[in-house]
Amino acid sequence: MVKEDIKENIKNSYKRFVRIKTLMLVFAFVTLVLTGRLFYLQAVKGAHYGRLAQSNCISMIKDRAPRGNIYDRNYRVLAANEPANIVSIIPYHFHQNEDREKAVNEVAKVLGIEPDTVMEKLAEKREYMLEPVQLKRGISVKELSLITELSANITGISVSVEPARVYENGRLASHTIGYVSEISAARLKERRYEKYLPGDIIGQAGVENYYDSILRGEDGVMYILTDAKGRQLDVVRKIESKKGTNVVLTIDARLQAFAENLMERNNYKGVILVSDPKTGEMLAAVSKPDYDLTYFSRRIDLNNWKRLIRNKDNPLNNRYAQGLYSPGSIFKIPVGIGALTEKVVVPTTTFHCEGIYWIRTWPYKCWKRSGHNWMDFYRAVAQSCDIYFYRVGLKMTVEALHKYAVMFGLGERTGIDIPGERQGIVPSREWKRRIDRSPWFPGNTVMMSIGQGYITSTPLQMMNIISAMANYGYAMQPHFFKAATTDGRRIIKRHEHKKLFELKAPKENIEMMRKAMQLVVHAGYGTGGRARVEKLSMGGKTGTVENPHGETHAMFGAFAPYINPELVVFVLVEHGGGGGDVAAPIAGEIFRYWFKVLKEK
């Protein structure tokens, strides 16, 4: 019995020993699992969690840099800055708010925006948890007082002051200056804007966009240590903001205003370009209709914006760089030079104009139905005889027309410092086969030789044709940028003038064309007589462009003085009528204002 008991005891003890050993192993294993997990969190994923911890406690506050000012050539302010109140929300606090919907609705109501837009802003992913997201810029005094009241009850609303863009001159040079607004989500994805962040202000058109990198300056940042309740404890790091560089434009605000007034007075749509042919500096650039920049001051009013977009006249379209027109009779300058250079005609060659020119059974009319009678080179240019150029064009063939069009810079962007410039079309046999899948007909050559048909160009390109004549054979690249300066007007960077193209044509041919252009204005029979300014000799060319939308476009391009020209003017009035009747007087007014008013002072 006793022996049995002892045996059992020993057996039990052994069993216990094994069980305790097992327990030890289990406990050791569990410890190992804990250690493994700790190693994974800290050693493997340490960097990841480190970032998360930082985004928890560091909030970033942007100190927006004021944009550089924009001046005209005489340092008259075109765009400046002014402090504006900005309402932001901190999404983190809103997410913690139990009555989020109500808070969002109240904020939206006070600011007059859709609650959904607020919700969208809340959902945006930001690097820092406590980073404020802008809701509305440039709020009114009334809104400010209401929102301040609200922020007492709702945590996470912040009102800050930031520099905002103001344009004091209304519509003046609006297409050239452009405007600013918050960068769009679509633009953020483009490579050019990869350094921009959501919420950044960016120039959207004109010089504001083209020189954004110079104008915008560097935003300052303040990293603030914040605890879990959102209390700000300490400034960890502060980077001061740097104001953007000022940009001085070549625009003369007085001339610009005068030119705009000429268009507005008659409610004309169209373009006026004034430049200095020797440097390519743009002294004035009008594109009508335009928009009132005060809409874009401080903030964009949504209703005004919608009205602008819906306007059928397309006031947001910068016509001088983006509008494509048939060059019309302006194109007779390249054709004429080409004809002389290719020796198709000599100045004394005459053709008879009967008012209609027949190619087999197809009639091609001259603008003067009764005909011009016998025409030599000078008279043909001065009276803009179409039939003379039909015959010259046919003799030259398309290839030569194409060659001289390209030589005068058509079909290629001028490279002016304005975004969105278009290049236009210079047709050729191959071009027509590719686009239209049809051969080139003699009729096409006829239309092209008077700048109608397939050929299109921007007003800037047409102005360059005149400039090339003014400069005796070359054109400078047109530009608006004169210099970049500090606030103390110390010049940091000056524009380097660049030749855009040079004509490969004998000097005497160019001189003949200039002579013809002088006759356009000064001969009794010239088409541009109404541009005449007392005691000023000039050269010009009218253009009256047929178009399918109604009345002809009136064009006139001119340079003055005839010897050593200082000014090139190009005027285009959409559906204005005859170039000589409508556009030429406008150009004359501009010459008069420049030479008799501005230069006399």
Partner 1 sequence: MRTRAKISDRIREFYRNMDWVLFAATLALMITGGFVVKSATAATDPMMFNRQLIWYAAGLIMMFVFANINYNHLLALGSHLYWLFVAILILVLLVGHEALGAQRWIKIAGFQFQPSELMKIILPFAVIRFILVRQKESFTLKNIGKMLLMVALPALLILRQPDLGSALLILLVLFVIFYVGNMPPKKLIILVLAAVMLMPVAYMALKDYQRQRLAVFVNPQIDPLGAGYNVIQSQIAVGSGGLLGKGYMQGTQSQLNFIPIKYTDFVFAVITEETGFAGGLFIIALYFILTMQGLRIVKLSRYSGGKMAAASLITIIFSQFVINTGMNIGIMPVTGITLPLLSYGGTSVLVTMIAIGILQNIYREYMKAE
Contact residues for partner 1 (CB under 8 A)?
12, 15-17, 19-21, 23-24, 27-28, 30-31, 33-35, 37-39, 41-43, 45-50, 52-54, 56-57, 95-96, 225-229, 233
| 172, 256 Cβ separation under 8 angstroms | yes
- Other C-beta atoms closer than 10 Å to the C-beta of 430 total 11
Q: Three-class SS of residue 194?
A: coil
Q: Position of tokens 């705009």?
A: 260
Provide, rounded to whole angstroms, the least separation between the CB of residue 107 and partner 1. 19
CB of 51 to partner 1, least distance (A): 8
- Cβ nearer to partner 1, comparing 95 with 433: 95
Which residues 6+ apart lie within 8 Å of 323 measured at CB?
271, 287, 317, 422, 458, 459
User: Of 55 and 397, which CB lies nearer to partner 1 in the complex structure?
Assistant: 55
Closer residue to partner 1 (CB): 65 or 103: 103
CA–CA separation, 248 and 72 (whole Å):
6
Closest approach, Cβ 227 to partner 1, in A, equals 4
Q: How far is the CB of 98 from partner 1 (least distance, A)?
A: 10
- How many residues are there in the chain? 601
Nearer to partner 1, 56 or 294 (CB): 56
Find all residues with CB under 8 Å of 105, minimum gap 6, and list them. 115
Nearest to 598 by CA among 252, 272, 280: 252
Of 398, 556, 424, 416, give the one whose Cα is nearest residue 475.
416
CB of 37 to partner 1, least distance (A): 5
Which residue, 33 or 185, has its beta carbon nearer to partner 1? 33
The SS3 assignment for 376 reads coil
Output 53 or 356, the one with its CB closest to partner 1.
53
Rounded distance, CA 590 to CA 569, Å? 8
Q: Kindly calculate the radius of gyration of the chain based on its CA atoms and give it in whole angstroms.
A: 36
CB of 102 to partner 1, least distance (A): 18
**Least distance between partner 1 and beta carbon 27 (Å):** 6
The residues, any chain, with a CB within 8 Å of residue 398's CB and separated by 6 or more, are 427, 428, 429, 440, 444, 445, 448
Distance in Å, CB of 198 to partner 1, minimum: 22
Long-range contacts, stretch 94-103, CB < 8 angstroms, 24+ apart: 94/122, 94/156, 95/122, 97/154, 97/155, 97/156, 103/154
Closest CB to partner 1 among residues 25, 161: 25
CB of 105 to partner 1, least distance (A): 20
Residue 46 or 420: the one with the smaller Cβ distance to partner 1 is 46
Q: How far apart are CA 141 and CA 143, in angstroms?
A: 5
| C-alpha 457 chain-centroid distance | 18
The answer, yes or no, to whether the previous bond of 83 is cis (omega within 30 of 0) is no
Q: Which is nearer to partner 1, 15 or 238 (CB)?
A: 15
